[in-house]
Structure 1
Amino acid sequence: MAAEYFTYTGRDGDIIPHDVTRVRIHESVTVIPRRAFYGRRNIEEVICDVGVEKVEEEVFFGCFSLRRVIMPGVRVVSDGAFCGCKALTDVQCSELEMIGLAAFPHCTSLRSIDLPSAKIVKYSAFYCCEALADITFGSKLERIEDEAFALCTSLRQINIPLKDGMITNDNTFQGCVNMEHVDLVGGIHETIAALQLEEWRNDINKEIDSIDQILPPAPAGGEADDGDVGEKAIVIRTWTRSVLRKLIGYKEQHHRLLDEAAATLELALPKDIVIKNIIPFLELPSCTFEVEG
């Protein structure tokens, strides 16, 4: 018979017994306060109500048996929230936007994580998650800070949007000796497919595919404190900027051709028909790509 859930309400005097293994966060709770479950070694599963928006500092620090966390409405996971949760394998957090400093370090059983809403990944967020093999971000991602994935020795692939300046430091992927692939998420593939000329599409796709050749042999660096940061982050930043520049250039050429085509069509057809019925089919998807500096 499965253990019953302990319902956490966050009220004064709401003491969590040390033998609790399964927890539900009550619908009245919007913020799980600092160290609420600190050192509860027997907790295996936590399910948050959708109304829970924030997990404060060190809430699950040292919960060594915690395997599964469902937090569908959480937007902020604060510093050290899941530090040392060595059994953690399943994290469901579709609305998570801010991942705090050292939020998930040493979660050595975590193999993959999907963060479609993440915007900021702070310093050492996933430090030394040795089993983490792939991670997927969405188009909202803005910044991955230094040592965010340092010593994630199993990390092979990261899925990120095409944005310049996201990877802020050369040591972001220090020690990621198996990192070999980056995939681009968001609207880039639709934009490329809509470009007018096949040679443009082929050129950009070739540039995108080049990461599979240049990233695997790039040095990963050593231990996080030995000063050898490697070249993985540098390679990804350089590649991102190269793809961006080509895409922006071809988008500009596409729009010039589109303007020329519209002018020609307006000689044969009423202008309103051209604008309403023809031009929309030739326009590129509404995605913005920028290169900093």
Structure 2
Amino acid sequence: MADHADDGDGVGDIFIYRGGRAHLHVTRVVIDKSVEEIENNAFDGCEQMVHVETHDGIRKVGGINLKSAIEIDRAAFYCCRNLESVEFGENLEIIGGTAFHGCSSLERLNLPSIIVIEEAAFYNCKALTDIELSERLETIESAAFRACERLQRIAIPLKRNLFSFFVRHDHNQIYNQFDKCDQLTTVDLVGGIHTTVASLHMESWKTEMKETISRINQVLPDADQGDKIAIIRQWMDSVIDKMVHYKAEHYRYVKEAITLLELALWKAKLGAREDNYAEGRTRKTKTDVECARRERRVICGADTVIKNVLPFLYLE
């Protein structure tokens, strides 16, 4: 029977794990070379844990709960080939380079708050099929999901320059986040893009945006594996460009609608008083006209309506 963590040694702020359940207060954990199996939930409740260092002799890793982790250091679970599941929390922001490299039993990822995925973080995770990423995500570095040969779907936010490149010896910029991901056929968008599309002024704009967004999943199944990242990047740029265009059109219509609303309120609430006021002031200066306009907006209620309605007509 393996020694429990209670029998482990603390070296500074590093805890040497020898089996069982880890102490709740640990922050940095080194898996002792005597450990061949890490049991399920070995680190449950370790809310202060920020670092786990493994070794090549581990044969089995149970489901690991990393709900409290903010950052997973480089190579933390490198080649833990029997690691099947990891539960990530809403605090995790950074996954270090090669952190899960070679975790060939890991099947699914849900990273609800991730901001940065460093180079080769999930390289050669052969069983990985589905990835759900955060709207907060800013960077996916090179080879992050390279050789995930069973990967079928990834959900990502709509952002320019989401994928970073590395510079080859011939000075070419290379994007290889999904190289050797032959089965990648579906890309979904996370975040507020769908709400924004639904709020567009014209039905034809909504239809065209939906078609543009869904086009990637028509093209990707037939693409060569080496072209997938280029196709995804081009598609994201096209969606963003079209969204920017229709947002500008939407704002133009909003401004026109506000002007019409203002005129309608003047007409409905001022009536004859408006006409008499205009006849009595045939020679207004520009300043007088603007002052009169502001006064009429207050009198007819346009200021109140516009202030409360206008924010709902604009798009995120």
- TM-score computed with the length of structure 2 as normaliser: 0.78
Aligned equivalent of 2:227: 231
Task: Give the 5 Å matches for 1:280-291.
Answer: 280-284=311-315, 286=316
CA distance in 2, matches of 1:261, 1:9: 70
Amino acid at match of 1:160: I
* Alignment correspondent of 1:152: 148
Call closer, same or farther: CA 1:125–1:25 in 2, change over 3 Å. farther
Q: Do residues 66 (structure 1) and 61 (structure 2) align?
A: yes
Instruction: Name 1:227's counterpart in structure 2.
Output: none
Which residue number corresponds to residue 165 of structure 1? 161
1:118-155 CA distance string (max 9 Å, x none): 11111110011001001010111011111111110000
Tell me if 1:272 matches 2:272. Answer: no
What secondary structure does 2:64 align onto?
strand
- The letter for the 1-side match of 2:108 is S
Secondary structure at the counterpart of residue 264 of structure 2: coil
1:185 corresponds in structure 2 to 190
Give the structure, 1 or 2, with the largest relative contact order (CA under 8 Å, sep 6 or more): 1
- Using structure 1 for the length normalisation, give the TM-score: 0.84
Alignment: residue pair count:
268
- When structure 1 is superposed on structure 2, of 60-69 and 76-85 the one drifting more is 60-69
CA–CA distance in structure 2, aligned partners of residues 62 and 158 of structure 1: 31
Question: What CA distance in whole angstroms lies between the structure 1 residues aligned with 2:188 and 2:33?
Answer: 36
Give the aligned partner of residue 80 of structure 2. Answer: 85
What is the distance in 2 between the residues matched to 1:25 and 1:93? Answer: 19
Question: Which structure 2 segments of 5+ residues have no match?
Answer: 166-174, 266-300
Q: Which residue of 1 aligns with 2:17?
A: 16
Q: CA deviation at 1:201?
A: 0.6
- Report which stretch shifted further, 135-144 or 35-44: 35-44
One-letter amino acid of the structure 2 residue matched with residue 11 of structure 1: G
Determine the C-alpha separation between the residues in 2 that align with 1:144 and 1:283: 31
Q: Which amino acid is 1:92 matched to?
A: E
- Percent same amino acid among aligned pairs? 36
Instruction: Please point out which of 200, 203, 214 is paired with 2:208.
Output: 203
Rounded to whole Å, the distance in 2 between the matches of 1:90 and 1:80 is 17
CA RMSD of aligned residues (A): 2.4
2:102 is matched with 106
SS at 1:183 equivalent = strand
Aligned partners of 2:212 and 2:239 also within 8 Å: yes
Letter in structure 1 aligned against 2:303: D
Instruction: State whether residues 23 and 46 of structure 2, in contact with CA within 8 Å, keep that contact through their aligned partners in structure 1.
Output: no
Please name the residue that 2:289 is paired with.
none
Q: Where do 5+ consecutive residues of structure 1 fail to align?
A: 221-229, 287-293
Select which of 116, 136, 142 maps to 1:140: 136
- Give the whole-Å Cα distance in 2 for the aligned partners of 1:254 and 1:10: 64
Q: Go from structure 1 to structure 2 and tell me whether the alpha carbon gap of 1:247 and 1:25 turns closer, same or farther (over 3 Å shift).
A: farther
Cα distance in 2 for partners of 1:213, 1:66 equals: 38
Does the Cα contact within 8 Å between 2:16 and 2:32 map onto a contact in 1? Answer: no
Shift of 1:266: 1.2
In structure 2, relative to structure 1, the CA distance for the partners of 1:131 and 1:182 (3 Å cut) is same
Once residues 69 and 254 of structure 1 are traced to their aligned partners in structure 2, the CA distance between those partners, rounded to angstroms, is 47
Q: In the aligned structure 1, how far is the partner of 2:6 from the partner of 2:67? A: 17
Partners of 1:8 and 1:254 lie apart in 2 by 65
Show the counterpart of 2:247.
251
Structure (1/2) with the larger helix percentage: 2
- The one-letter amino acid paired with 2:192 is G
Larger radius of gyration: 2
Aligned to 1:49: 45
Partner of 2:60, secondary structure, is: coil
CA distance in 2, matches of 1:88, 1:109: 6
The verdict on how the C-alpha distance between 1:92 and 1:7 changes in structure 2, with shifts beyond 3 A counting, is: farther
Deviations 1:222-243 (A, max 9, x none): xxxxxxxx11111110000000
Q: 2:111 aligns with which of 67, 92, 115?
A: 115
Please report how far the alpha carbon of residue 51 of structure 1 lies from its aligned counterpart in structure 2 after TM superposition.
Answer: 2.9
What is aligned with 1:174? Answer: 179
Q: Is contact 1:8-1:25 (8 Å) kept?
A: no
